[in-house]
Amino acid sequence: MKQLRSILVFALIDIKRSFRDKTALFFIFVFPLIFLFVFGGIFGSNDGPSFNVALLNKADNEFTKQFLKTVQKDDLIKVNKDVTTEADATEKMKRGEIDAIIKLPESFGEAKDSQAFPSGQAEVVVDQNSEQAGATLKSIFDAVFNQINQNITKAPTPFTAKLTVSKEQGLNQFDYTFAGLLGFSILSLGIFGPTSVFPRMKQQGILRRYHTTTLRVWQYFTANVLSQMFVGVLSVALMFAVALSVFKLDMRGDYFTMLVIVLLGTATMFGVGLAIGGWARNENQAAPLANLITFPMMFLSGTFFPRFLMPDWLQSISGLLPLTPIVDAIRFVVTEGRTVFEIGPELGLTAAWLVVIYIVAFRVFRWE
């Protein structure tokens, strides 16, 4: 009972220290939200893909005016009205500011002498690196022209395609990205905090004074882990609140499973921070080692882009990193609605890393 009381006392002390430290508050709550708003602004829109184009129109007739109104109503095509010359359009396309140039010649929309209906050819210009985008744009214009042609010539259509929308609701890109942002938040919360706090406490002699008491290393570790779990749950809850209210996150799993992942993941990542901060004598030793460990996990564990985009050999390596099963488990819960029983392999691998990491942390920890 006395040992438990000591653990709770030090856990409360650590929680109070975190909330009194403005720098810690920034990295615990504000820093993850900055990433959330940045990536939410990029991927949070449900408008779908679009093409930014320059429209160079030399035709001046009623048909062309109606045609341009039809095109500009299409959400897939966004016309850059600031571009008026071909030289300016070409320069902007070379710099990647626009995706393509649409050219309408003077004869576009006019009726030739031998026919009683308007005709013409629109030219889609792209650079060599954007052939796929050009093909997509051409298919959009073909669809518009096919509808116009049907209204003009009334020709029968032997073959058609039918679009059927299923009842399944798909994910938008933000739903997928949010899991990685949570993983990044757990990573930064667990590692960057202790790697700066513990060396500072050593230099100030605080840990040396703790060592003169009856406090044991395992009690001190347990107290810090409990306080970190509490703060981690608050940080993740704040991110969920913003994601649900601002970016309309489609949370498909249950929050109990998410709580289990957050607690286990926070404890695991905090163990890495404990090992680094407990070993280092000062921040100059801790910072390079922390970066050396965290950067591979940050970029190879699926936090900012999917692991399936990597080569097979790199996927095999990245699958063994401690952060990977945490991010995968979060993504399975958020996007697929899996329960705690269905993410057993991810939880098991995380628990295995937890044991290994704390064995190392106990061995390398130094009070001064």
Q: What distance in Å separates the CA atoms of residue 297 and residue 301, rounded to the nearest whole number?
A: 5
Query: Is residue 259 in a domain?
Result: yes
pLDDT digits (tens, 9 = 90+) for 138-184: 887 777 777 777 777 666 656 555 555 445 555 567 877 898 899 98
Q: Residue 283: which domain range?
A: 2-44+172-364
SS3 162: coil
Residues 116 and 251 in one domain: no
Specify whether 143 is located in the same domain as 182. Answer: no
Kindly state whether residue 164 falls inside one of the protein's structural domains. no
Q: Would residue 236 count as lying in a domain?
A: yes
Containing 238, the helix (H) or strand (E) segment is helix 217-246
Would the CA dihedral through 355, 357, 363, 365 be positive or negative? negative
Q: What is the pLDDT, as a whole number, of residue 255? A: 93
CATH of the domain at 108: 3.40.1710.10
Please give the helix or strand (H or E) that residue 331 lies within, else none.
helix 323-336
Tell me what pLDDT residue 324 has: 94
- The pLDDT, as a whole number, for residue 166 is 44
The answer to whether residues 290 and 183 belong to one domain is yes
Residues 149 and 277 in one domain: no
Q: Is the residue at 161 inside a domain?
A: no
Distance set, CA 80 to CA 76, 123, 136 (Å)? 13, 17, 18
- Do 220 and 357 lie in a common domain? yes
Asked if the structure places residue 158 within a domain, the reply is no
Count of domains for the chain: 2
Q: Are residues 237 and 221 in the same domain?
A: yes
Residue 36 in any domain: the answer is yes
pLDDT in tens, the chain (368 residues): 667 777 787 788 878 877 777 777 777 788 788 888 887 777 665 555 678 888 888 888 888 888 788 777 777 788 888 888 888 888 888 878 888 888 888 888 887 766 667 888 888 888 887 777 778 878 877 777 777 777 776 666 565 555 554 455 555 678 778 988 999 889 888 887 777 777 777 777 877 787 777 778 788 888 888 888 998 899 999 999 999 998 888 888 899 999 999 999 999 999 898 888 888 877 778 888 888 888 888 888 888 877 888 888 988 899 999 999 999 999 999 988 899 999 999 999 999 999 999 999 888 888 77
Does residue 20 fall inside a structural domain?
A: yes
Same domain, 10 and 130: no
pLDDT digits (tens, 9 = 90+) for 229-245: 998 899 999 999 999 99
| Measured CA distances, 288 to 154, 259, 279, 280, 283 (Å) | 72, 31, 13, 11, 9
